[in-house]
Amino acid sequence: MRCVVGRALGAGVLALLLAAGAATAAAPEGPRLAVVRVTATAHQFKIELVTVGQSGGHRLRLAGGGSRSRPWPFYFSPPSWSPDGESVAFSGIVGSHHGDNHELRLKLFTVRADGSGLHPIHGTRGASDPVYSPDGRTIAFTRSIDRDEPTTVGGKRRKYGFSGASIWTVDLLTGAQRQLTPWRDGLEYIASSFSPDGSTLLATHMDYGLLNESEPVALRLDGSGSRRLLEEGSSPVYSPDGSEIALIRPTVEYLDSEKRSGSDLYVMNADGTNVRRLTRTPERYEDSPSWDPSGERLAYEQFRVFGEGIGDYAVVQVNADGTCRTKAVSAPRVFFLAPAWQPGPGREAGKIEC
């Protein structure tokens, strides 16, 4: 669904990339969600990385803002909290290329939980979807290239352009980088979650030359290969104890003899067995699941597509057994995307009471 939302948001983003600014305040206590907040009205366009309480209140801006506040958080890329909950890594929009398709220029940044200390991670040009390792020493990320004009990828000149994505890691102390998946035109890997022991990285795999749908995979960091978890699915994330994986799967429903496409939230065991559907939302799409530190509830983004536009963009939460689904963050003419629960003692939201 990235391409659908991109057409709706891209024009406004590319028109308003100017200078930078920031503001800070004390980091609130208790359960918090980091989300990307996009305000798009006739008089205002803002992209912000904010945190909110478990019911959507007490908003605190960490990065981004209006036309003079960059980097703007990349709206397709969920932020990632450090294991101690003290800082957030996110993909920031720092400009755009001037080729045929105006590819956004992205870079990774970190910022503290109170909104101070905004810091770029050097050598992460074109990076999105950061994922902190369990020890906090490295970040896995996705580096994407999407250009129609001739370009160079992996030291090889591409005469007719290139579209693909590869997963890398960066050592936050030394800056050393490691490429985990190969470059190939039409091949994409998107990082999403480390196992609690740091041995495995979950990702979404898409090969447009072979597949019509994305599939969730587990990459072994010792180089021993990858394993497909299901035939269809995306955005897989481990539960805090590593026993389960939440993910998004495409759905088709028939209402009044009409075909209605969408996607819903599922949970399965970490080995890919016992797949359970948690939500059923015909004509609505869901993405970016995130486990509460207690492992008892999940937050995710939900939106509706109609014609050439999108609407009803909100962050929703549900218990891990599929009960008590409720909106966590929503507002008229505001998009809320890419939720991420803040980890750490005292940050557990626990089970939702219906």
Domain of 245: which CATH number?
Answer: 2.120.10.30
Phi, psi torsion values for 282, nearest 5 degrees: -55, 140
Q: Which 3 state secondary structure label does DSSP give 114? A: coil
Going by C-beta distance under 8 Å and a sequence separation of 6 or more, which residues neighbour residue 305? 1, 4, 283, 285
Contact criterion met (CB below 8 Å) for 351 and 345? no
Residues of the domain holding 65: 2-341
Please indicate, yes or no, if residue 354 is contained in any of the structural domains: no
Between CA 50 and CA 34 the distance in angstroms is 6
Please indicate, yes or no, if residue 69 is contained in any of the structural domains: yes
Please indicate, yes or no, if residue 23 is contained in any of the structural domains: yes
pLDDT reported for residue 257: 72
Please indicate, yes or no, if residue 350 is contained in any of the structural domains: no
pLDDT reported for residue 322: 96
Going by C-beta distance under 8 Å and a sequence separation of 6 or more, which residues neighbour residue 132? 80, 81, 82, 83, 89, 138, 139, 194
The reported pTM is 0.88
Please indicate, yes or no, if residue 348 is contained in any of the structural domains: no
Please indicate, yes or no, if residue 140 is contained in any of the structural domains: yes
Q: Splitting the chain (354 residues) into consecutive groups of 10 residues, what average pLDDT does each group show?
A: 42 36 62 93 86 92 87 94 97 76 84 96 95 98 85 79 91 96 92 97 91 88 89 96 97 77 94 95 91 97 73 89 93 90 95 93
Closest CA to 16 of 121, 99, 96, 106: 96
Give me the number of domains the chain comprises: 1
Please indicate, yes or no, if residue 112 is contained in any of the structural domains: yes
Q: For strands 309-319 and 297-306, give the pairing.
A: antiparallel
Q: For residue 148, what are the CA distances in angstroms to 44, 100, 123, 158, 208?
A: 31, 6, 23, 10, 16
Please indicate, yes or no, if residue 89 is contained in any of the structural domains: yes
pLDDT reported for residue 6: 44
Between CA 250 and CA 330 the distance in angstroms is 23
